[in-house]
Structure 1
Amino acid sequence: MPAPSAPYDQPAGARCDFAVHLEPVVDEVMTKVLATYPDGSTKREAYVGDLVFRVTNTATGASVDVDLSGNAIVAYQPGGTLITNSTWYLVGPAMFGFKEGGGDHPRGLWVFDGVYTVAFDAVAYKTVTIYHGTERNVCDDLS
């Protein structure tokens, strides 16, 4: 089933020092539920497909297209969501926003690529474990 991404905005200071607009320019991501809990809620699901986001510094107009076409399996704890009580198992590029104090990385729009996990706790604190790969803060590309 398609899993479309919506454009969104982040004000200055939320992820980057400046306001950013993020918009998908290629979005062919599909999702499939792989397992459910007895109550029917999702236990595990897969995400695959091409995804490219354009990230724009709205103050300067500078933009960068970011390939986020990684593959993911998301495992949910009971009652979990994509950003709480879940663990993402990823291969390939994906981007995660970090607010100040919101995870084990400084504030920014971080692109991870390789083999890694991103674990979300009950309050959406993110912990990234990179087994093999790279990371970069897209905010630095647009400064």
Structure 2
Amino acid sequence: MVSLWSGSYAILMAMRRLMVVLFAAVVAVVVAPAPARAATGGGWVPAPSAPVDVPAGVLCDFPMHSEPLVDEVRTRVLATHPDGSPKRQAFVGDLVVRVTNTATGAYVDVNASGSGLVVVQPGGTPTRNSTWYAVGPAGFGFREGGGDHPRGMWVFDGVYTVAFDANSYKRVTIYHGSERNICTEL
């Protein structure tokens, strides 16, 4: 005999699996045509990442430098707000970043080659009043009190969202996947 609890749990898990599959399918449909379209233009433009230096205590206990080793990220604006600012924007492409503890010279190379769809609210930016729907690895810095994760340089992988409020406070929801804090590796 199946209890009401185990039956409800099975339904809940089946619904969760369905949501993960549907979410991944939506993101894949939005970004999958990118390589074919990129070769002919198709509105895709480079979105290079700049090197970044972060003082000790901001993300990690030590000073940190990050620099792209491979940067083939492209972006395409899919819809705009009436003022012309991006409303929905897709990101695709390979990105490998070397993160270095500049106090010791130790470093780790981070794959951040996930694909994402960023939905920006009116008056927002990609890091304010926006939500990132992502599949695959990407990195996000968390300052003290800056989100639902402790201070650090976090890499999320799998199927997840990162929602930014008006003050750039981040809330992460991982539907399926993993997370790691690069600060603990250096």
Cα displacement string for residues 17-41 of structure 1 (whole angstroms, at most 9, x for unaligned residues) = 0000000000000000001112211
- Correspondence for 1:58 among 84, 102, 106: 102
Cα displacement string for residues 71-104 of structure 1 (whole angstroms, at most 9, x for unaligned residues) = 0000000011111000000000000000000000
| 1:103 aligned counterpart, secondary structure | coil
- Correspondence for 1:27 among 57, 60, 71: 71
Stretches of 4+ aligned residues off by more than 3 angstroms: none
**CA–CA distance in structure 1, aligned partners of residues 131 and 165 of structure 2:** 9
Q: Which residue of 1 aligns with 2:158?
A: 114
**CA–CA distance in structure 1, aligned partners of residues 130 and 159 of structure 2:** 17
- Correspondence for 1:10 among 49, 54, 73: 54
Q: Which has the higher contact order (CA 8 A, sep 6+)?
A: 1
The residue correspondences of 1:29-48 to structure 2 (distance < 5 A) are 29-48=73-92
Q: Match of 2:97, as an amino acid?
A: F
- Bigger share in helix: 2
The normalised TM-score by structure 2 is: 0.76
The answer to whether residue 133 in structure 2 is matched with residue 99 in structure 1 is no
| 2:46 aligned counterpart, secondary structure | coil
Q: Which residue of 1 aligns with 2:111?
A: 67
Q: Which residue of 2 aligns with 1:141?
A: 185
Aligned residue pairs total 142
**CA–CA distance in structure 2, aligned partners of residues 39 and 13 of structure 1:** 38
**CA–CA distance in structure 2, aligned partners of residues 140 and 37 of structure 1:** 40
| 2:185 aligned counterpart, secondary structure | helix
The answer to whether residue 121 in structure 2 is matched with residue 81 in structure 1 is no
| 1:139 aligned counterpart, secondary structure | helix
The normalised TM-score by structure 1 is: 0.98
**CA–CA distance in structure 1, aligned partners of residues 96 and 83 of structure 2:** 35
Structure 2 unaligned residues grouped into runs of 5+: 1-44
Q: Which has the larger radius of gyration?
A: 2
Structure 1 unaligned residues grouped into runs of 5+: none
Cα displacement string for residues 38-91 of structure 1 (whole angstroms, at most 9, x for unaligned residues) = 221111000000000000000100000000000000000001111100000000
| 2:184 aligned counterpart, secondary structure | helix
Q: Match of 2:131, as an amino acid?
A: T
- Bigger share in strand: 1
